[in-house]
Amino acid sequence: MDFNLTEERGMLRDTLGRFLRDKYDHGLRRRLEASGQAYCPDVFEGLAELGVLGALFSEEHGGFGGSGFDLAVVFEELGRAGTLEPILPAVLAGGLIAEAGRTDLVEEIIAGTTVATLAHGEAGARYDQSHVTTSAKVDGDQIVLSGTKSHVLNGAQARLLVVSARESGAVMDEAGISLFLVPSDAIGVTITDHVNLDSTSAATVVLDSVRLDASVRIGSAGEGFELLEASIARGVTALCVEALGAMEAAKTLTLEYLKERRQFGVPIGSFQALQHRMADVLIEIEQARSAVINLAGNLHRPRLERERHVSAAKNMIGRVATLVVEECIQLHGGIAMTEEYALSHFARRLTMIDHLYGDVDHHLERFITLSAA
């Protein structure tokens, strides 16, 4: 047993942490939002130069990391800084693109010159991963995609989409789903973007008889679900660690405020009613950290074991994040209700994460089902 980071990961964490403390703050997020930009291209380029994207891929795929703990190092720092840059889409789509053997594209993703994202969600699918109605019809050497994909993260900034579509079976069947690599400028693709509650950008992607060479299919026909689930497991790991970083940031802000804010002539942190609530926040964050360690350390395990940890961690993160958000706002008082104060971003991001790829209840139910299997 060893709960310490390797030297390389420790170095990446330190450099990345320094870079973000230097470049990122709430003011930048607000400026980006005011100017209608989804993220800061300079920072994204800087992150790529630091090797942040390379750390997400294994050596086999052209990167220098790729394990659960590599994701952990990167995303905890991103979460702590509250970045808006499209790193999560690279996890969700990048692994699948690597799976397709497109090392040329992976290289571009790692270099930060191409943004790729996963276009999987659909209206009415809620958190059911196998809910796919978008159709894929074979026509000679070509494939024709039709349907609408929703909540596509950074869809409007992406040059490449990994689209899930059904070649056979009923709406909720796992069998029959395939994955396709679709350039966002393909004829018949319409992308409409919107802003999420945490200032990140997402899009609705309409595929109107998009005709592509059949070679854009990733893996075998109708057998995409397994790949998809494994990729989402990596995405959920990234999200859980990011949430951990964001919780640490919220905790730090709150602790500073408790020491500096004075009422009744004393710092409010001297009141035991507040101290004990803060102690619980700390205890629960450590529990969340353990759940994340369990997930990162089991990401390479067989499917059932891996997915049980996915659901355990996502459930734990969802519960603890809600506690941290609500307690940190309450412990601050009125100031935490303002958009101008940095806590507002972490509160919104943490809340948003519970809505991505399954919330507390969804994953509790899934954990029960997986445990019985």
Partner 1 sequence: MDLHYTEEEQAFRTKVREWLAENLPHALSEKIRLGKRLTKADYELWHRLLNERGWLAQNWPREYGGAEWNAVQRQIFEEESCLANAPHIVPFGPTMLGPVLLAFGSEEQKRHYLPRILNGEDWWCQGYSEPGAGSDLAAIKTTAMRDGDHYVVNGQKTWTTLGQHADWIFCLVRTDPGAKKQEGISFLLIDMKTPGITVRPITLIDGDAEVNEVFFDDVRVPVANRVGEENKGWTYAKYLLTHERTNITGVGFSTATLKALKSTAAQVQSGGRPLSQNPLFAARMAQVEIDLMAMTTTNLRVVSAASKGRAPGAESSMLKVKGSRIRQELTSLMRRAFGPDAMPFQNDYLEGGDNLDALGPENAASAAPTYFNMRKLSIFGGTNEVQRTIITKTMLGL
- Using CB under 8 A as the binding rule, whether residue 322 contacts partner 1 is answered as no
Q: Exposed, middle or buried, 126 (CB in 10 Å: 0-12/13-18/19+)? A: exposed
Rule CB under 8 A: choose which of 51, 169, 219, 297 binds partner 1. 297
> What is the contact mask toward partner 1 in residues 333 to 372, using x (rule: CB under 8 A)?
-------------------------------xx-xx--x-
Site residues for partner 1, 51-110, by CB under 8 A, read 69, 72
Contact predicate 81/90, CB 8 Å: no
Which one among 74, 136, 288, 347 touches partner 1, defined by CB under 8 A? 288
Does 316 sit near partner 1 (CB under 8 A)? yes
Should residue 14 be labelled a site residue for partner 1 when binding is judged by CB under 8 A? no
Determine if 315 is a binding residue for partner 1 (CB under 8 A). yes
Distance in Å, CB of 258 to partner 1, minimum: 6
Q: Does 258 bind partner 1 (CB under 8 A)?
A: yes
∠ CA 77-83-89, nearest 5°, is 95
Q: Is 42 in the site for partner 1 (CB under 8 A)?
A: no
Which residues lie below 8 Å from residue 206, measured CB to CB, with a gap of 6+? 148, 149, 189, 190, 191, 192
Instruction: Tell me the residue length of the chain.
Output: 373
Listed in sequence order, the residues at least 6 apart from 265 whose beta carbon sits closer than 8 Å to its beta carbon are none
169: which 2 tokens?
């079976």
Both tokens of 288, joined, read 């969340």
Of 42 and 286, CB closest to partner 1: 286
Quick one: which segment of 98-106, 167-175, 235-243, 270-278 binds partner 1 (CB under 8 A)?
A: 270-278
From 30-38, 101-109, 156-164, 267-275, give the range in contact with partner 1 by CB under 8 A: 267-275
**DSSP annotation of 6:** P
d(CA 258, CA 270): 8
Paired tokens of 35: 């100017």
Least separation in angstroms between residue 195's CB and partner 1 is: 33
**What residue type is assigned to position 360 of the chain?**
V
Query: Which of 272, 273, 302, 340 contacts partner 1 by CB under 8 A?
Result: 272
- Amino acid at residue number 148: T
Q: Which helix (H) or strand (E) holds 262?
A: strand 262-263
* Residues making contact with partner 1 (CB under 8 A): 1-6, 69, 72, 255, 258-259, 269-270, 272, 275-276, 278-280, 282-283, 286-291, 293-294, 296-298, 312, 315-316, 364-365, 367-368, 371
